[in-house]
Amino acid sequence: MRGYSHGHPLFLPTTEIARNHPLTEFLDKRLLFVTGKGGVGKTTVAVALGLRAAAAGKRTIVCEVAAQENASRTFGHAEVGFHEVEMRENLWSISIDPDESMREYVLLQLKVRAMRDMLFRSRIFTYLAAATPGLKELVTIGKIWELTQLDRKVKHGRKYDLVIVDAPATGHGVGFLQTPRTFASIARVGPIHSQAQQLDRLITDREHTGVAIVALPEEMPVNESAALEHDLREEVGVAVDRVYMNALYPERFSAEESERLAALAGGEDGAVRAAARAAVSEHERARSQRAQLARLRRRVQAPVKTLPFLFEPELGVEGAEQLARRLG
Ligand SMILES: Nc1ncnc2c1ncn2[C@@H]1O[C@H](COP(=O)(O)OP(=O)(O)OP(=O)(O)O)[C@@H](O)[C@H]1O
Ligand SMILES: [Mg+2]
């Protein structure tokens, strides 16, 4: 079933195939981006995917970008920084700092030491990055590319089976993943053009690179996730393999029970009434979330998988593990 996104199903309707698209196939890719709006659970899902892949024996690295450190914090590591740090068996984490990526890139590119020293001393990158929108994103993706290579460019670089990127929140559409193409079209020729093109080819390689969108069961997040999927497919040209509807409340009551609760909520007994009202309101919430789930399923092409809301003050690694087991 690999590559269903290119092929034309002979017998099954696409939705049917998409629904059955198994997790193992997703984790068999080499590079995964986890994306979505701010605060929807991207880091949590990226870590859960990492745990699941690592448990399946894949050497996996979860990358945070823009100097975030939330994934490592899940494992109780204060800061990993721009280093590949082992969180548990088969699972590493790195926080990709754009300045460090730029420095590493230059070190790899420039063989003349005096010239490198001169460049670093002159703080030319600080100025360059400030003057060139998207440059930080470009070098970040450059580092992601480097991590995916089996023939690592950095000395003693580990070979990973799977690189999972906890992508930046999509404030303004699909910016991050589109960066290489933008650069390739601005720089028409030369090394920037060819390297940006190489990064774009990596991102749009549907066989090896995948995307998961994380959504929440509310009206606006559903609309935004559907728009994001559309733009990622149509404008960036990536494979969107999954949409995770995160933090779904359990449906605790049957229709019959909810009717009885509604009757109690209008009853005489004060304590019973208060408890029944609370239960009715939670039932309503769970029902409205199911309605949003149905809307999401209608509006996106990718299979929609659900993740439960975990009633914990802080998720931590146990929470991530619980979600990892529930990943579809
Ligand atoms: N299924 C869940 N159940 C309960 N809490 C959750 C769940 N998923 C995520 N959370 C919590 O919601 C908060 C936001 O999650 P997370 O940090 O993963 O989101 P994010 O999309 O990475 O946010 P940001 O855009 O700020 O990076 C965290 O406190 C996390 O522990
Ligand atoms: Mg995050």
What's the whole-number mean pLDDT along residues 41-63? 97
- Distance from residue 161's CA to the centre of ligand 2 (Å): 23
Residue with tokens 């994934």: 71
C-alpha span between 323 and 152 (Å, rounded):
31
Band of pLDDT at residue 160, cut at 50, 70 and 90: very high
pTM of the full predicted structure? 0.89
Band of pLDDT at residue 188, cut at 50, 70 and 90: confident
Does the pLDDT at position 1 exceed 60?
no
C-alpha span between 204 and 121 (Å, rounded):
36
pLDDT at 172: 56
C-alpha span between 258 and 281 (Å, rounded):
10
Q: DSSP per residue over 29-52, as a string?
A: SSEEEEE-STTSSHHHHHHHHHHH
- Distance from residue 201's CA to the centre of ligand 2 (Å): 26
| Residue 247 Cα: closest atom of ligand 1 | 1
pLDDT at 19: 55
Spatial contact of 304 and 29, defined as CB atoms under 8 Å apart: no
- Contacts of 62 by beta carbon, 8 Å cutoff, 6+ apart: 46, 47, 49, 50, 71, 87, 91, 92, 93, 94, 164, 166
Lowest mean pLDDT among 88-92, 114-118, 131-135, 166-170: 114-118
What's the whole-number mean pLDDT along residues 62-82? 80
HEC string for 281-322: HHHHHHHHHHHHHHHHHHHCCCCEEEEECCCCCCCHHHHHHH
pLDDT at 3: 40
Mean pLDDT over all residues of the chain?
88
Does the C-beta of 44 come closer than 6 Å to ligand 1? yes
Does the C-beta of 70 come closer than 6 Å to ligand 1? yes
Does the pLDDT at position 56 exceed 90?
yes
- Distance from residue 37's CA to the centre of ligand 2 (Å): 10
- What percentage of the chain reaches a pLDDT higher than 90? 62
C-alpha span between 57 and 45 (Å, rounded):
18
Lowest mean pLDDT among 54-58, 167-171, 278-282, 304-308: 167-171
- Paired tokens of 214: 């994380």
Residue with the nearest Cα to atom 7 of ligand 1? 247
Q: DSSP per residue over 113-139, as a string?
A: HHHHHHHHHTTHHHHHHHHSTTHHHHH
User: Which residue type occupies 4?
Assistant: Y
What are the b/e assignments for 273-298, b being 16+ CB within 10 Å?
eeebeebbebbeebeebeebbeebbe
- Distance from residue 21's CA to the centre of ligand 1 (Å): 25
C-alpha span between 299 and 308 (Å, rounded):
21
Best mutation site among 44, 318, 323 for ligand 1 pocket (most ligand atoms within 8 Å of CB): 44
Sign of CA dihedral 213, 218, 223, 224: negative
Residue with the nearest Cα to atom 12 of ligand 1? 41
Nearest to 229 by CA among 48, 70, 33, 50: 33
- Distance from residue 28's CA to the centre of ligand 1 (Å): 25
Does the C-beta of 307 come closer than 6 Å to ligand 1? yes
Tell me the β-bridge partners of 63. 94, 165
pLDDT at 75: 82
Maximum C-alpha span of the chain: 85
Give the pLDDT confidence of 145-157 residue by residue, as tens digits.
999 999 888 888 8
Q: Where are the alpha helices (DSSP H) in the chain?
A: 14-20, 23-27, 42-55, 70-74, 98-109, 113-121, 124-131, 135-148, 175-186, 190-203, 219-231, 255-265, 270-299, 316-326
Nearest to 305 by CA among 18, 107, 68, 13: 18
